[in-house]
Amino acid sequence: MKLLKQHRTKLLIFGVLCVLGTAVLQKAHAQSGPKYSLTVSPTLVEIRMKPGKQVIKAFTLTNNGSSDLEITPSIRSFTDKDGMPMYLPDSSPPSFVSLFNTDKKLNEPFILKQKQIDQVILQITPSETLQERDYYFSLFFSGRSAASSQSGEQTMYSGQAEGQIAIQVLLTIANTADNKGKLVFENIRLPKLIDSFFPFPFQAEARNIGTEYSPIQGSLTIKPKFFYPEESHDFLPENILAGSTRPIRIMQNTDSTQNTPPDTANSTSSGEKRADRIFQYKKPFLFGPVSVTAKIGDAANSDTYEQTVVAVPFVLIGILVLLAGIPILYRRYTQSLITRLPKSA
């Protein structure tokens, strides 16, 4: 009986500890602060306009979180580095770019209440004498969570959630509609001699030597002399800023014979296709010359690269030479043993 009472006492203490622990966890979770969830659309804006004109572009902000957000809009100019924006030090927004909103200003915070949708309107008014060229900048929305007190004032959490969204704006100031971008190949890597049983890679970069940003337009065509039909693979149409260089990513079928694992850092998937910086052409067996042609640009301004890759079955030749050489070596070895044997009297 005494043992049963001790057992009941232990169970009672354990139950009390569980209840207290649950209450502490709930309190800690309640004090951890609200969740941060802000979406902005569109995420990329391309504008072409004439000097002396005006363009107004609206951005929709949606607060999907559980608390009010303090949003601060700002603008920073950038250039391109390997396809990624590189923001300039001490960069300031172009003088002809501002906010059209009467209740919002750059670098000044405003409150976006939970579940609320609002708009930030960008105004671009270049003068008639402004230099005709490209202007690249990002519209940043930096936010942090806030909670409203009973008095209506904004109270910041000690463990508040923060976030930042950057919207890239590619602006071209020009009096004509013709794109002045011009793309050329750079740093092409393609072997001249390969083994018939192994794939060969193609890798290249595109440089924009024009005065305006331009999307990559082009394809890679591979035509073996024997056994296989001609194949053509398009380049991923990514923008290249004026004066910049970026790797070319080539679309290829994910279910083709090119069973190479994707480079997740340098690849993009779209349906049944994958775009990789290093294109791998693989067939069960290649032999003889393989014509490789890469073209980039449009009909007016294009660059072409052509090369012939020769496939030779080095592995097969090596195996045949080894198989043919073994009997010869064996024969010579046995003859040497015979000559070393002592002659009988």
How confident is the model at residue 292, as a pLDDT?
96
**DSSP letters for 66-120:** SSEEEEEEEEEEEEEETTEEEEPTT----TTEEE--SS--TT--EEE-TT-EEEE
29-33, 49-53, 253-257, 306-310: least confidently modelled range: 29-33
6-15, 20-29, 279-288: least confidently modelled range: 20-29
Mean pLDDT throughout 301-315?
92
User: In degrees rounded to 5, what are phi and psi of residue 133?
Assistant: -170, -175
User: In degrees rounded to 5, what are phi and psi of residue 49?
Assistant: -150, 165
Q: Is the pLDDT of residue 263 over 70?
A: no
How confident is the model at residue 33, as a pLDDT?
55
In angstroms, rounded to a whole number, what is the distance separating the alpha carbons of residues 120 and 140? 11
**DSSP letters for 220-285:** EEEEESSSS--EEEEBP--EE-TT-EEE--EEEETTSS------TTTEEEETTEEEESSEEE--S-
Q: Which domains does the chain have, with CATH numbers?
A: 38-173 (2.60.40.10), 183-250+278-317 (2.60.40.10)
Please count the helices (runs of H) and the strands (runs of E) in the chain. Answer: 2, 25
In angstroms, rounded to a whole number, what is the distance separating the alpha carbons of residues 321 and 299? 51
Of 172, 170, 140, nearest to 53 (Cα)? Answer: 172
Task: Write out the H or E segment, with its range, that includes residue 196.
Answer: none
pLDDT band for position 333 (cuts 50, 70, 90): confident
In angstroms, rounded to a whole number, what is the distance separating the alpha carbons of residues 294 and 254? 21
Of 59, 60, 69, nearest to 36 (Cα)? Answer: 69
In angstroms, rounded to a whole number, what is the distance separating the alpha carbons of residues 264 and 253? 16
Residues 6+ apart with CB under 8 A from 46: 170, 239
pLDDT band for position 258 (cuts 50, 70, 90): very low
pLDDT tens digit sequence for 181-240: 899 999 999 999 999 999 999 999 999 998 899 999 999 999 999 999 999 999 999 999
Of 141, 148, 157, nearest to 71 (Cα)? Answer: 141
How confident is the model at residue 316, as a pLDDT?
87
Instruction: Answer whether 0.75 is exceeded by the pTM.
Output: no
* Distance set, CA 107 to CA 72, 74, 86, 204 (Å): 6, 5, 20, 41
In angstroms, rounded to a whole number, what is the distance separating the alpha carbons of residues 150 and 128? 52
Higher pLDDT among residues 122 and 153, named by residue = 122
Mean pLDDT throughout 153-158?
45
Output the CA torsion 126→46→82→207 (10° steps).
-80
**Token pair 């232990």 is at which residue?**
10
Question: In terms of DSSP bridges, do strands 154-155 and 183-189 run parallel, antiparallel, or are they unpaired?
Answer: unpaired
305 close to 188: Cβ distance less than 8 angstroms: yes
Mean pLDDT throughout 329-338?
74
Of 314, 48, 51, nearest to 177 (Cα)? Answer: 48
Residue type (1 letter), 282: K
Task: Write out the H or E segment, with its range, that includes residue 121.
Answer: strand 117-124
pLDDT tens digit sequence for 31-58: 445 667 889 999 999 999 999 999 999 9
How confident is the model at residue 335, as a pLDDT?
74
pLDDT tens digit sequence for 157-179: 445 567 889 999 999 999 998 88
**Token pair 């039909």 is at which residue?**
229
In angstroms, rounded to a whole number, what is the distance separating the alpha carbons of residues 25 and 23? 5
Rg (CA), the chain: 34
